[in-house]
């Protein structure tokens, strides 16, 4: 039995149903999206746990029940009596989605505030997955605690996988974001950035430059996603490969493209696939996810 922990924030998602006065309620968040696709891509010989924090209120119960109903372990979702989960609301106007967030004081911002609980969550896991969003929502002290816990986990042979998921709006300023993201990469075995964001915030000339930069910061392997363009893989021995991704005829909604790619890739790699086949599995799954609306597309995995 293998065990994966995904660390981060899951939020309530409110969206219009088309009926006046009726909203629909779902749950999503980058690390939760990846946990969801990992759970649905892997067999029962893998346990997928979510590591986060929620409140003790009805809304938090609803989120935890949702995770459980998807087969995701919730033993390491800490329950804090004075907090609740973050929420966002999606409006669709002329085909463009825009988001309103209530997350500044969410319970998940305390997910790393108890280092002993963090170490218990990591104990016995094979792989820990986290992101730049996980890092962005924490206090400086908790960022350090999480990096230290993951460094310790890696030192004992655990695999740390990090998606930088650059979101400057969650940070005080871009310079702070860049500094912490590099510290995170330093404790990560595999880094999974998306080129467009990296070029914008780090000025990388091409995907190879992104890969080499993260390796220079300490990541052993890097896979750079780039929308419909090639995926670039940089391995631990200095090798660099490029793989094309299948074209998607009707791109409906690119939400969770990167999150689902990561899950498809990791599930295939954990099942023993070659790098090339694991990248293909990630790209196939992401292709299905962007062909439908929403972050969590139940049919995407079975079709893959
Ligand atoms: P993110 O969601 O992090 O911005 P990307 O846009 O780089 O991630 O996309 C992640 C993966 O999703 C890509 O590597 C590719 O496999 C797939 N993908 C995204 N956009 C497209 C597209 N327009 N056509 C085909 N595949 C795509």
DSSP 178-239: HHHHHHHHHT-SEE--BHHHHHHHH--SSHHHHHHHHHHHT-SEEEEB-TTSPEEEE-TTS-
User: Is this structure's pTM higher than 0.85?
Assistant: yes
Residue 24: per-residue pLDDT: 92
2-303, which class in CATH? Answer: alpha beta
User: Average pLDDT, whole number, for the chain?
Assistant: 96
Percent of the residues in the chain that have a pLDDT greater than 70, as a whole number: 99
Statement: residue 95 has pLDDT above 90: no
Ligand 1, atom 23, lies closest to the CA of: 228
**Ligand 1 atom showing the smallest separation from residue 251 Cα:** 23
Statement: residue 96 has pLDDT above 80: no
Ligand 1, atom 26, lies closest to the CA of: 228
Q: How many helices (H) and strands (E) does the chain have?
A: 11, 13
Closest C-alpha among 201, 259, 204 to residue 234: 204
Is the separation of the CB atoms in 146 and 51 below 8 Å?
no
pLDDT in tens, 116-143: 999 999 999 999 999 999 999 999 999 9
Give the binding-site residues of ligand 1, using a 6 Å CB cut-off: 194, 225-228, 231, 245, 247-248, 251, 254, 257-258, 261, 283, 286-287, 290
Report CA(287)–ligand 1 centroid distance (Å).
Answer: 7
Look at the alpha carbons of 183, 134, 119, 220 in this order and tell me if their dihedral is positive or negative. negative
Is the separation of the CB atoms in 78 and 53 below 8 Å?
yes
Statement: residue 304 has pLDDT above 70: no
pLDDT in tens, 150-204: 999 999 999 999 999 999 999 999 999 999 999 999 999 999 999 999 999 999 9
Around Cβ 17, how many Cβ atoms within 10 Å? 9
Q: Give the chain's length.
A: 304
Statement: residue 36 has pLDDT above 80: yes
Statement: residue 62 has pLDDT above 60: yes
- Ordered by start, the domain boundaries in the chain are 2-303
49 counts as catalytic: no
Residue 139: per-residue pLDDT: 98
Mutate-to-test residue for ligand 1 from 233, 256, 286, 292, highest number of ligand atoms within 8 A of CB: 286
183-199 in b/e form (b: 16+ CB < 10 A) is: bbbbbbbbbbbbbebbb
Residue 98: per-residue pLDDT: 86
């Amino acid at each position: 039995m293998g065990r994966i922990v995904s660390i981060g924030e899951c939020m309530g998602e409110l969206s219009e149903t088309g009926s006046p006065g009726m909203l629909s309620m779902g749950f999503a968040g980058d690390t939760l999206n990846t946990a969801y696709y990992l759970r649905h891509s892997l067999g029962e010989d893998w346990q997928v746990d979510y590591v986060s924090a929620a409140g003790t209120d009805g809304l938090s119960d609803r989120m935890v029940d949702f995770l459980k109903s998807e087969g995701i372990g919730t033993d390491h979702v800490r329950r804090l009596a004075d907090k609740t989960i973050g929420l966002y609301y999606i409006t669709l106007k002329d085909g463009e989605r825009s988001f309103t967030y209530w997350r500044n004081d969410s319970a998940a911002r305390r997910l790393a505030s108890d280092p002993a609980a963090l170490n218990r969550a990591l104990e016995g896991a094979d792989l820990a997955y986290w992101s730049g969003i996980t890092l962005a929502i924490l206090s400086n002290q908790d960022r350090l605690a999480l990096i230290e816990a993951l460094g310790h986990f890696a030192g004992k042979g655990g695999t740390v996988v990090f998606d930088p998921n650059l979101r400057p709006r969650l940070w005080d300023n871009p310079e702070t974001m860049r500094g912490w993201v590099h510290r995170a990469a330093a404790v990560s075995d595999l880094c999974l950035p998306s080129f467009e964001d990296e070029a914008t915030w780090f000025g990388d000339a091409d995907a190879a430059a992104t890969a080499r930069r993260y390796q220079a910061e300490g990541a052993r392997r890097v896979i750079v996603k780039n929308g419909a363009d090639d995926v670039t893989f940089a391995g631990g021995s200095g090798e660099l490969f490029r793989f094309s991704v299948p074209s998607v005829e009707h791109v409906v909604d690119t939400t969770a493209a990167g999150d689902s790619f990561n899950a498809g890739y990791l599930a295939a790699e954990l099942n023993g696939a070659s790098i090339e086949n694991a990248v293909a599995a990630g790209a196939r799954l992401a292709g299905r996810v962007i062909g439908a609306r929403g972050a969590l597309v139940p049919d995407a995995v079975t079709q893959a």
